Amino acid sequence: MITQAIGIPGYVAGTWDIDPVHSQIGFVARHMVVSKVHGRFDRFHGRIFTAQDPMQSWAIATVNLNSVNTGDQTRDDDLRSGNFFAAATNPIMSYRSTGIRRHGEDLFVDGELTVHGMTRPLVLKVEVNGFTANPGGSIRTGFSATGQIKRADFLVCSNEPYLGLASDKIHLEIEVVAVLRTGD
């Protein structure tokens, strides 16, 4: 049985829609060397396909860069500006997985992140949180993922005055809850 072979109790194969109300796409960046700024994106959507063979599963997601939220309007406006995201002309960031692999007990999803029209590899370390039915009867699954990107790889903020204020390395923290599609 697949569930026993991969060690994921209650595994369900199918197509899932990310539930943005119960999910979060977040990031952490060093600021001025001495602190960390936490932020998130408030508007995104995506789909996950869990295959009968879990190692053949895949995911896609699209993030609206205009929805960046660090809890500080001035900083958020700066992040949306040409200093960083240039969200007026490049409002979408997207991710698509290209493969899944195990390394020891850890699970990794290889993929491609596209920002500013530039596509670069992005590896996410993933934890499968489980599969369950909620009281309303829908089937849900949850995943946690972490990864790291470099702003310079996407030409996000190459302006000289900003180089020392925010780190080039951005840590990603993703929590996803997805709902199984019915009737497909």
- pLDDT score at 163: 47
Cα distance between residue 69 and residue 48, in whole Å: 25
- pLDDT score at 158: 53
pTM: 0.89
- CATH code for the domain of 164: 2.40.128.110
Cα–chain center distance at 42: 12
- pLDDT score at 69: 97
- pLDDT score at 154: 79
* DSSP per-residue letters across 54-112: GGG-EEEEEEEGGGEE-S-HHHHHHHHSTTTT-TTT--EEEEEEEEEEEETTEEEEEEE
Cα–chain center distance at 120: 14
- Parent domain of 8: 2-180
- pLDDT score at 92: 97
> How many domains, the chain?
1
- pLDDT score at 6: 56
One pLDDT digit (tens) per residue for the chain, 184 residues: 234 335 678 899 999 999 999 999 999 988 766 789 999 999 999 999 999 999 999 999 999 999 999 999 998 998 898 888 889 999 999 999 999 999 998 999 999 999 988 999 999 999 999 999 988 889 999 999 999 998 878 776 655 544 445 677 899 999 999 999 987 5
Hey, what are 131's tokens?
A: 């599969």
- pLDDT score at 2: 39
- pLDDT score at 184: 59
